[in-house]
Amino acid sequence: MILPIKKILISREELEQRITSLADEINQAYRGEELVLISVLKGSVMFLTGLMKELDIDVEIGFLYLSSYQGETAPQTKINHYHLPFPDIKNRNVLLVEDILDSGASLACAFDICQHKEPTSLKTCVLLVKKDCKKTKTPPVDFKGFDIPNEFVVGYGLDHREKYRQLPYIAVPDISD
């Protein structure tokens, strides 16, 4: 059962178009080089998949499993890091792929983890950036998909209590917690 939504913020078509343009920007930035894409799980896996399909450079992927929402609709500042096998990124170009930047805590944590592994370069690619959100000290967003209002959103990998991830668009859910 698909739970009710209040409104669709970004359609499937808009997502596909912007992801294609982001891939073009990344292809130009890393032309002739190898790139390791590090996806921050679970939310960014659909974004990573869509992005990878549009890249025409040599890529490897890895995953960081971080969680900040723990079932809530507002981001938390405490980040849980679940250990997974991780590629060797020392002396390699790395692009962190994140679904959403709201508090900035998970992106900052992921950036710090990767930075300690001594990559040649470390940049970020974020699908959604919330406007007017109080962010912790975060790394710059090098490749950005969309600015969105400061609302809780789901779809295209983003969830509410593990629901809504499969939606092919970004939406504001109709939830009452």
Active site residues: 102
Pairing of strands 5-10, 170-173: antiparallel
E strand residue ranges, 72-120: 80-82, 93-101
Alpha helix ranges (H) inside 3-66: 12-29, 45-54
Q: Both tokens of residue 35?
A: 């790139």
Could you give phi then psi for residue 71, rounded to 5 degrees?
A: 85, 0
The rounded distance, in Å, linking the Cα atoms of 141 and 84 is 24
* Residue 97 CB neighbour total at 10 angstroms: 26
Q: Tokens for 93?
A: 């170009």
The partner residues of 10 in beta bridges, in order of sequence, read 170
- Count of Cβ atoms closer than 10 Å to residue 9 Cβ: 19
